[in-house]
Structure 1
Amino acid sequence: MTNPSILSYFLQGAALGFAAAITPGPFQTYLISESLSGGWRRGAPVAFAPLLSDLPIILLSLFLLNQLPESFLRGISIAGGAFALYLAWRLWTGWRKDADLPEEGTSSSQGSLRRGVIANFLTPGPYLFWALVSGPILLAALRQSIASGAAFLIGFYGVMILSLLGIALVFSQARRLGSRLVRILLLLSIIILVIFAGVLLKQGFFG
C-alpha cells in the first residue's frame, strides 16, 4: 500500500482544524463573548491563541497522557472548570452593570489574547484531541517525512484560525443589531460557560 501524499496530510489537517474550530467548548464561548462585547478588534486576537498554547499541549498530550495516571487529566479538568467559572464571573459583573457597549478596540487586545491562551490551555479538550485524534496522524506524517508533518500542521492551523476568525467576525457584527441583543447573547455565553465549568469540574472530581 502506498504512503499518503503530502496533499493528503494537508487535507486531513484542514478537515480536523475545521472540526476543532467549530466544536463548542469554553474557548469558543470565550471567543464569541469577546467578539460580542468588544467587537472584531478584541475577538480576532483570541483566534490566534492556539498558536501560542498548542505546542506544549501537543508535547504533553503525546507523552504525559500516556505516562501519568488519570489524576493528571482530572487536575486539568478541575483547573479548566475553575477558569471557566472565572470567565463567566467576569462577564457577569460587566453584564450586571448594564453599561453601554464599549467601542471596538477600547479594551486591551493583548489581554483578550492572554485570557484566550489560558482558556485553551486549561481545558482537557485539546489534550484529548491531540492525544487521541491528531497526534497519531501527525506522528505517522512525521515518520514519512518532515514535509508531510509540516503539511498536516499547516492545514490544521491554517483552516482552524481562519474558521475562528470567521466566528469572531460573525459575532462582532451582532453588535450592530443593538445592545439588547448583544446583552442577551452575552447572558447566553455566561450560561454556557457555567455549564462547561460544571461538566469539567464533574470530570475532575468524579471522573
Structure 2
Amino acid sequence: MADIASAALAGAAMGLSAGFAPGPLLSLVLSQTLAHGPREGVKVALAPILTDTPIILATWLLLSRLTGTPAVLGLVALAGAALLCRYAYDCFQAPPPDAGDPAKAPRSVLRGVAANFSNPHPYLFWATVGVPYLLETARSGPAGPIAYLTAFYVCIVGAKAAAAGLAGRFRRFLSSRGYRLLMAGLGASLLYFAWGFAGQGLSLLGLAG
C-alpha cells in the first residue's frame, strides 16, 4: 500500500508541475481560453492523454530491453535528475505564462495535439523520468504504475484545465504572488525527486557510497 501511495504522490507532484509550468501547451491553453472561452482551453488540456501513449509505449519497449545493463540505466537516471532540476529551475525563475489575446479560430484539440507532439519535453520526460520510474514500480506489480499514471494524468490535465478556468475568470492570478508561490512549491517537489533519481543513477553506476 505504501508503494502505491508513493507512486500516486510522485505522479501527482510531477503532473502538477508539468501542468502549471510555463510552456507551449499551457500558453495554448491560455490563448484559446482568452480567445474562445474556458471550454476551448480545457480541450487543449486533454492533449497529453492523446499524445503520450505512443511515447510511453515506445520508451517502455526500449528501456525494458536494457534492464540487464545497469550502466545505461544509471546514465538514464542521472539524465532524468538533470531534467528534473531544469524543470525545477523553470518553476523558480520563469515568469507567469503569457496571457495575450490571440484571435485564432478554434480547433483546440487539434492545436493541442500538434503542440504537444512538436514539443520535446514529453519525449525527454518519459525517456528519462516517467518510464524509468514506471519500470521501477512495476517490479512490485501493476498497481504502482497504474497509480502513478492515474495521478499524473488527473493532475496534469486538471492543472491545465484549472489554468483555463482561472484565466477565464481571474486573469490577475497569472501574475499574482499566489501563482509564484505555487510554482516555487512545485519546483521544490521536483528537486526532491531529482535527488532520488541522482542517488539511483549513482547506485546503478556503482558510485554510491
TM-score by length of 1: 0.58
Alignment CA distance shift 1:167-1:32 (3 Å): same
**In structure 2, C-alpha distance between the alignment counterparts of 1:127 and 1:168, rounded to whole Å:** 27
Distance apart, 1:90 and its partner CA? 2.6
Match of 2:196 among 186, 199, 205: 199
Question: Percent identity over the alignment?
Answer: 14
For residues 101 and 62 of structure 2, the distance between their equivalents in structure 1, rounded to whole angstroms, comes to: 35
Question: Using a 3 Å threshold, how does the CA distance of structure 1 residues 85 and 73 change in structure 2: closer, same or farther?
Answer: same
Q: Secondary structure at the match of 1:102?
A: coil
Residue 127 of structure 1, aligned match among 135, 147, 151 = 135
The residue aligned with 1:63 is: 65
- The aligned residue for residue 162 of structure 2 is 170
Distance verdict in 2 for CA 1:70–1:101, change over 3 Å: closer
> Which amino acid in structure 1 is aligned with residue 122 of structure 2?
G
Pick closer, same or farther for the CA change 1:161–1:48 going to 2, 3 Å: farther
| CA distances 1:108-131 after superposition (whole Å, capped 9, x unpaired) | 962684312311221121333456
Structure 2 stretches of 5 or more lacking a match? 31-40, 103-110, 144-148
* Distance across 2 between alignment mates of 1:129 and 1:121: 15
| Moved beyond 6 Å, runs of 4+ | 19-22, 157-160
Aligned-pair CA distance for 1:132: 5.3
Q: Deviations over 1:61-97 (max 9, x none)?
A: 44332xx2322322221010011111222333324xx
> Which whole-Å CA distance do the structure 2 matches of 1:20 and 1:48 have between them?
21
TM-score by length of 2: 0.57
Cα distance in structure 1, aligned partners of 2:64 and 2:159:
29
Aligned-partner Cα distance in 2 for 1:195–1:27: 15
**Could you tell me how far apart the structure 1 residues matched to 2:45 and 2:52 are?**
14
1:49 and 1:75 map into 2 onto residues whose CA distance is 26
Rate the CA distance shift 1:62–1:197 in 2: closer, same or farther, 3 A. closer
Q: Is the 8 A contact 2:12 2:155 kept in 1?
A: no
Select between 73-82 and 35-44 the one with higher mean Cα deviation.
35-44
CA-based RMSD of the aligned residues comes to 4.2
- Number of equivalenced pairs: 165
Please tell me whether residue 102 in structure 1 is matched to residue 98 in structure 2. Answer: yes
Deviation at 1:200, TM superposition (A): 1.0
Provide closer, same or farther for how the CA distance between residues 158 and 44 of structure 1 changes in structure 2, counting only shifts above 3 A: same
